[in-house]
Amino acid sequence: MSLWDDIYDAFIYNDRWKYVLSGLENTIILTVMALILGMILGVMIASVRTIHDKNGKLPILNIICRAYVTVIRGTPVMVQLLIIYLVVLTPNVIGFRINPLITGSLAFGLNSAAYVAEIVRSGINAVPAGQFEAARSLGLSFSAMMTTVILPQAVKNILPALCNEGISLLKETSICGVIGVVELTKSYEIIMSFTYQAMVPLIGIALIYLTMVMILTALVHKLERRLNANAI
């Protein structure tokens, strides 16, 4: 068979491209939902740790947050995904089976939160100490200081890193097929089960990932140039 025949058999015959389209949709949903959850939890964790570092408050919460970040960053995301799917969110524990897509989003969101927390915390620490002192001299409370003075400056510094975390998250979702989510990589397995060929569908899926990552990388670089231009 020619290369075109292999491509036709893998993606066009019997509308097999629909498996790829469905997988791409689930991959995007997983990435967006996990990134939103990771951002929310990450900012909360970073805030707790920053409050403790600056004024010694919230010691118990700080210990919990440090332990969480250590455990999440120190264990493989595959293990975390399987623990949540096979141990935590099982019908025996919660009484019903959750959609694997939601389970995957939750697992990756919890994983991403640990990395986002460290990114946000590093951004806050990068703000010059004089900004904290100036805010205190104006009589601002700690919460007002963080929301109006510190975080806006920190966000400017960490936006590229957060975008890169989103790119990493996009690629990591490729393991969600192990819990039954038909994401982009899983769609390759479905097509291969029909065609009994691996090269063409696998390369096709890889090119789709590469295209998405290149687009996101270009957007990150454009954002970095704009931020650097504004800083001058």
Q: What angle do CA 64, 103, 116 make, to 5 degrees?
A: 45
Regions of the chain where pLDDT drops below 70: 1, 227-228, 230-232
Whose tokens are 């806050």? That residue is 124
Alpha carbons 224 and 218: distance in angstroms, whole number: 10
Sign of CA dihedral 83, 87, 93, 95: positive
Question: How many domains is the chain partitioned into structurally?
Answer: 1
pLDDT at 103: 92
Q: Enter the tokens of residue 58.
A: 């919230």
Q: For residue 132, what is the domain's CATH number? A: 1.10.3720.10
Contacts of 15 (CB under 8 A, 6+ apart): none
Taking the model in full, what pTM does it have?
Answer: 0.85
Over the stretch 115-132, which tens digit does the pLDDT of each residue have? 999 998 888 888 887 777
Contacts of 97 (CB under 8 A, 6+ apart): 90, 91
Over the stretch 13-24, which tens digit does the pLDDT of each residue have? 888 888 889 999
pLDDT at 1: 58
pLDDT at 56: 79
pLDDT at 231: 57
The residue range of the domain holding 64 is: 3-231
Burial (CB count <10 Å: 0-12, 13-18, 19+), residue 209: middle
